[in-house]
C-alpha cells in the first residue's frame, strides 16, 4: 500500500513534523533505522509519544532483509520507516525508495532537518561547503586517510568541510566474526577529539606532498555536539585548542573552515570562540 519514509530531524521526539506524526499514527507498522544515526532520546520515549510500537531496524535488517521484512508488508499495509535527520541524507534510503517503486509500492517522503543543513548554526554559509567527509574509527592495521585528501580539495577551493564522525552500533568484532560468533560490541561514537587526532595523523602521513600538513594544528575549525538539542555545544577555535575540549555525550561533528571567513562568518566564529575560551 505505502511506505512512509519519515525524517525525525535531530535530537528528540518533538522535532518530527506534523505530517510525519500524522503518517506514523495511521501506520500499521513503524520501523526505526538506527545504525546511520541516533536520537538523544530512547525508543520507549518515542513509543509513548506516538502511542505505537517501534521495531528497531539495524544494518542487517535494512541492507539484507529489507525486502522480506519491510517491503513485503508495505505491499498491503501502511508502513513507516523512521530515519534520524532527513531520509535522503544517506543514499542507503534512496536505494530502499527505488526498490519500493520498482515493486509498485507507493513511497511518501517526509523531509526534515539533518546535520547537513543544521550545521548552519555555526554561522558558516551553507552555500560554501564542499564535499562532506566521514572519518572512520582507525584500527591497528586499517588506517584509511582518503577522507583527508577530500578536506584538502575543499580547503584549496576555499570551501568549508563538514566532517561526520563514525558510529558503530551492533558491530561484531573481527575476532568474533572469524569465530562465527554473533556477539555485538558496545555502541561506539567517535568524539571530536578522536576525530581531530585521526585527522592530524592523516595530515602528517599523507601521500601527497602538497597536502601533507596543509591542515594542521593552527587551522580554524568548529567542534559541535548534539546539534538541535537543548544542550548542544558549539565551539570554535584552532584545531590544537578544540582537540583538548570536552564535548560530552554523542553525536559529535567537526567543521574544518575554508581558507577565508566572510564578514558574518567571521563575526559568528569570534562569538563562538569567545564563548569557548
Interacting residue ranges for a copy of itself, rule: CB under 8 A? 7, 9-10, 13-19, 21-22, 86-89, 91, 94-95, 98, 101, 109-114, 116-118, 120-121, 123, 125-134, 153, 157, 159, 228, 262, 264-265, 267-268, 271
Please tell me the distance from the alpha carbon of residue 22 to that of residue 262, in angstroms, as a whole number: 42
Choose between 130 and 250: whose C-beta lies nearer to a copy of itself.
Answer: 130
Choose between 61 and 164: whose C-beta lies nearer to a copy of itself.
Answer: 164
Q: Cβ of residue 166: shortest distance to a copy of itself, in angstroms?
A: 15
Q: Which residues contact 71 (CB under 8 A, 6 or more apart)?
A: 3, 96, 99, 100, 103, 105
Closest Cα partner for 125 from 266, 271, 11?
Answer: 266
Q: Cβ of residue 89: shortest distance to a copy of itself, in angstroms?
A: 6
Q: Cβ of residue 193: shortest distance to a copy of itself, in angstroms?
A: 23
Helix (H, G, I), strand (E, B) or coil at 126: helix
Choose between 126 and 183: whose C-beta lies nearer to a copy of itself.
Answer: 126
| Total Cβ atoms within 10 A of residue 122 | 24
Choose between 14 and 244: whose C-beta lies nearer to a copy of itself.
Answer: 14
Please tell me the distance from the alpha carbon of residue 240 to that of residue 218, in angstroms, as a whole number: 6
In degrees to the nearest 10, what's the CA dihedral of 32, 33, 34, 35?
Answer: 170
Helix (H) or strand (E) holding 120: none
Q: Cβ of residue 194: shortest distance to a copy of itself, in angstroms?
A: 21
Q: Cβ of residue 244: shortest distance to a copy of itself, in angstroms?
A: 25
Choose between 128 and 170: whose C-beta lies nearer to a copy of itself.
Answer: 128
State the angle between helix axes of 18-25 and 43-50 in degrees (0 to 180), rounded to the nearest 10.
80
According to DSSP, the residues that pair with 230 across neighbouring strands are: none
Q: Cβ of residue 163: shortest distance to a copy of itself, in angstroms?
A: 11
Choose between 17 and 193: whose C-beta lies nearer to a copy of itself.
Answer: 17
Amino acid at each position: 500500500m505505502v511506505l512512509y519514509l519519515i525524517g525525525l530531524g535531530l535530537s528528540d521526539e518533538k522535532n518530527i513534523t506534523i505530517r510525519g506524526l500524522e503518517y506514523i499514527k495511521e501506520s500499521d507498522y513503524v520501523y526505526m533505522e538506527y545504525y546511520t544515526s541516533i536520537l538523544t532520546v530512547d525508543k520507549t520515549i518515542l513509543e509513548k509519544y506516538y502511542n505505537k510500537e517501534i521495531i528497531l531496524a539495524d544494518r542487517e535488517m535494512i541492507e539484507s532483509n529489507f525486502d522480506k521484512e519491510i517491503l513485503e508488508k508495505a505491499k498491503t499495509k501502511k508502513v513507516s520507516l523512521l530515519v534520524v535527520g532527513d531520509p535522503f541524507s544517506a543514499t542507503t534510503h534512496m536505494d530502499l525508495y527505488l526498490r519500493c517503486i520498482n515493486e509498485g509500492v507507493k513511497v511518501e517522503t517526509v523531509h526534515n532537518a539533518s546535520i547537513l543543513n543544521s550545521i548552519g548554526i555555526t554561522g558558516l554559509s551553507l552555500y560554501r561547503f564542499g564535499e562532506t567527509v566521514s572519518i572512520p574509527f582507525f584500527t591497528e592495521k586499517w588506517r584509511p586517510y582518503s577522507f583527508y585528501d577530500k578536506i584538502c580539495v575543499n580547503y584549496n577551493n576555499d570551501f568549508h568541510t563538514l566532517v561526520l564522525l563514525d558510529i558503530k552500533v551492533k558491530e561484531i568484532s573481527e575476532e568474533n566474526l572469524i569465530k562465527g560468533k554473533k556477539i555485538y560490541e558496545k555502541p561506539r561514537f567517535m568524539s571530536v577529539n578522536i576525530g581531530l587526532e585521526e585527522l592530524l595523523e592523516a595530515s602528517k602521513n599523507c601521500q601527497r606532498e602538497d597536502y601533507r600538513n596543509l591542515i594542521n594544528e593552527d587551522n580554524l575549525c568548529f567542534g559541535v555536539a548534539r546539534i538541535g538539542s537543548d544542550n548542544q555545544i558549539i565551539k570554535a577555535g584552532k584545531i590544537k585548542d578544540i582537540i583538548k575540549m570536552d564535548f560530552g555525550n554523542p553525536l559529535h561533528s567537526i567543521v574544518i573552515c575554508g581558507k577565508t571567513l566572510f564578514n558574518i562568518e567571521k563575526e559568528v566564529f569570534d562569538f563562538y570562540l569567545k564563548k569557548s575560551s
